[in-house]
Each structure stands twice: as C-alpha cells, then as structure tokens.
Amino acid sequence: MRTAVVILNWNGRHWLQRFLPDVLAHSAGAEIVVADNGSTDGSLTWLAEHYPTVTPLDLGRNHGFAGGYNEALKQVNAERYLLLNSDVAVSAGWLDHLNAYLDQHPEMAACQPKVLDHARPDHFEHAGAAGGYIDRNGYPFCRGRIFEITETDSGQYDDAREVFWATGACMLIRSEAFHSAGGFDADLFAHMEEIDLCWRLRRQGWTIGYTPTAVVHHVGGGSLGYGSPRKTYLNFRNSLIVLTRNLNVPFWWVQVLRRLVLDGAAAAKFLLEGHGRHTWQVARAHWHFFAMLPKVIRQRRELMRTERTPTLTGLYHRSVAYDRFILGWKQFGQLDSEAFEPAKASK
C-alpha cells in the first residue's frame, strides 16, 4: 500500500461517527486504519459493525499520542503514513494534493495541509495553521497563529514552502523517515512530539513542507481541551525537554534558563488571572523536567554526535513571547523576517 491513513483513537467514537465517512469517501486507494488507544466507549465494536473495511488496531491501553502512533505504525505496511486526528474534517482531493507535493520533493520527509478552524472556517486553527516554526526559547508558533491569536485566512499563506515543523493533527510522512528517526518520543506522551520528530528529521538532512492546495478543518482539543490543566502541564514540560535536547547553538543552556524564567512569568500570570490550577501545572512541569534532565542530556549528546545539518532553516532567533506580549505583534507577517534562518520557498 502506498499510503495508509492512520487515525489514533481514544474514546472518540463520536468523532469517528462524525468524520470517518468523509475520510473513506475522499481517500481512494489508501488503507484506512483506526488504532485504538484502549478506549472504553465501544469504539472498536462500533467500527466493526459499521465500517468493516477499515483496519482496526487494538493497542490495549492508552499509550498517549506519541507512544500510540509508535505502536500502531509498527503494524502498518505502507510507503507513507497520513497521521490524522479523529476530529479533522477532510474534503475531496486532500490526500492527492499532499501525496503530489511529497512526490515533487524527494528531499522532504513530511508535509502538512492548510489547517482551518472547523467552527470558524475562515480562520486558521491553532494546531498547525499554515506550517510551524519555533523561537529561540522553544515556543512554537505558526504562519497564521501566534500563541492564542489565530488569523483570518485571506490567502496570505497560499504559498507552498519549507517550514520548521508539520502538525501531528494532519501529517503525511514517509515511513522510512519516521522509522529512521526513531519515531515519536513516547516519554512526551502528547504535545510537542511532532516538533521533536521534525527537528530530528531535519537534523538528518530531510526538509518539512506545507502546501495550501490541501485543506482540512480541525475541531481541536478532541482529547484534551485547550483550557485543560493537563495540557498546560504537557506543553510546559515537553517544551523544555524538546528545547534542551535539540537546540544546537553556543551556550544553549542560557536559552533553557531563559525559558524557565519565562515559564515563571507565565505561571504568575495564570495566578493573577485566577487560574491557580495552571500555575500548579507549570510547577509540576518544571519538577518533572529536572527529574528527566539526566536522560535528556544523554539523548542530547547522542543527537549532537549524529548532527548532519547544524544550521536549520526556520528557527526564529527572537523571542516570539516578547514580540506578542510586549510589542503587541499578533500576526506572523509582523514578525522580524530577518530573525529567521533563511528558508527555501518551494513550488
């Protein structure tokens, strides 16, 4: 099979009922796989009754997003994997456009479509928008999304191009690239795992791309809502892990320390706004990051020994937090273009 569309499911039968029919209708020639992360809502029974042509994978328990996909993709035989969240609506041509874009770029490991908000179809969606980037302090952002601000889609990002990372909500990736990079880091469980994987792939010499010809609509927060304290914990902990492990600049540890200070400011902001549970989750994230630090440092040393591409395009050598909260810049186009490592446009 050339392409397998792999949907990781955890108690998401309602999402499957809503969005799986269109995936089947608009993915001709692809194998459709639903990998179940130990659901207790009868997802697999419902799937067998209503869609017997879909390949079910029972993973037995909840391995998280990262570990779940690692376990599932060991059992899927395809040249390319399309990793798709269960709360994503697809339309005609979506998969053909992604495959065609990857065909045109043999140096590219993975690519993503334009990701719009299902509730507000004229706005970009938080998870991926028009391709991902990362700043010097490990804060991810997108063309079309800076922190909580998402832009209206007016065609401003309708250029196919290389980006720093592609969203795990809808990512087409070569199976050889996924496995050669070691897959996702299961220790991350969920959130930031696709950024970590893309960083490792780019370290191996691959590129990551975005094409606007493929468009999907994402509900977002299907497993963990955007206001979830658990999501806060995972985002803060995993950002520190990914930054520490991957950043390859002189005095990298200074930038990690700066990130810790910025996290403290974010925790104080949560507290002042009456969100004490989120403040506690930031503290937990730091505690667990320091507990994992010896392992992360060992992983970092190994990655630095195998470095092939030390200068990675798309890194933003400013603080996007400063730009957003101090300067008031709310759109990607307002950011300092000279602060990016030069990225190549692709056609």
User: pLDDT by residue (tens digit) across 29-81?
Assistant: 999 999 999 999 999 999 999 999 999 999 999 999 999 999 999 999 999 99
What pLDDT, on a 0 to 100 scale, did the predictor assign at position 347?
A: 42
Residue 249: pLDDT band with limits 50, 70, 90: confident
Rounded distance between C-alpha atoms, residue 222 and residue 154, angstroms: 26
- Nearest CA-CA partner of 204 in 233, 234, 173: 173
How many Å apart are CA 301 and CA 139, to the nearest integer?
Answer: 22
Sign, CA torsion 40/46/51/55: positive
Fold for domain 3-218?
Spore Coat Polysaccharide Biosynthesis Protein SpsA; Chain A (3.90.550)
Q: What is the pLDDT of residue 131?
A: 96
In terms of Cβ atoms closer than 10 Å to its own Cβ (0-12, 13-18, 19+), residue 155 is: exposed
Dump pLDDT digits (tens) for 314-338: 789 899 999 999 999 999 999 999 9
Range 332-347 average pLDDT: 75
At residue 304, the pLDDT reads: 85
Q: Determine the Cα–Cα distance for residues 212 and 316; give it in Å rounded to an integer.
A: 22
Query: Which candidate, 81, 33, 40, places its Cα nearest to that of 60?
Result: 40
CA dihedral 283, 288, 291, 294 (to 10 degrees): -110
pLDDT at 224 (0 to 100): 57
Over the stretch 270-289, which tens digit does the pLDDT of each residue have? 999 999 999 999 999 999 99
Confidence category of residue 346, pLDDT binned at 50, 70, 90:
very low
What is the per-residue DSSP string for 83-104?
Answer: EEETTEE--TTHHHHHHHHHHH
Q: Provide mean pLDDT across the span 239-268.
A: 91
pLDDT range class, residue 313, cuts 50, 70, 90: confident
**Residue bearing the bigger pLDDT, 64 or 227:** 64
Instruction: Please answer whether residues 297 and 243 qualify as being in contact, where contact means their C-beta atoms are separated by less than 8 angstroms.
Output: no
Q: What pLDDT digit, counting tens, does each position of 97-153 carry?
A: 999 999 999 999 999 999 999 999 999 999 999 999 999 898 999 999 999 999 999
What pLDDT score was predicted for residue 251?
A: 83
Kind of pairing between the strands at 88-89 and 207-218: antiparallel
Tokens standing for residue 324? 């957003």
Amino acid at the residue 69: Y
Residue-by-residue DSSP string for 125-180: -TTTTT-EEEETTS-EEETTEETTEE-B-SSTT-S-EEESB--TTEEEEEHHHHHH
For the record, the structure tokens of 75 come out as: 């059992």
Q: How confident is the model at residue 252 (pLDDT cuts 50, 70, 90)?
A: confident
As a whole number, the mean pLDDT across the chain is 92
Residue 163 has pLDDT above 80, yes or no: yes
The 3-state DSSP class for residue 207 equals strand
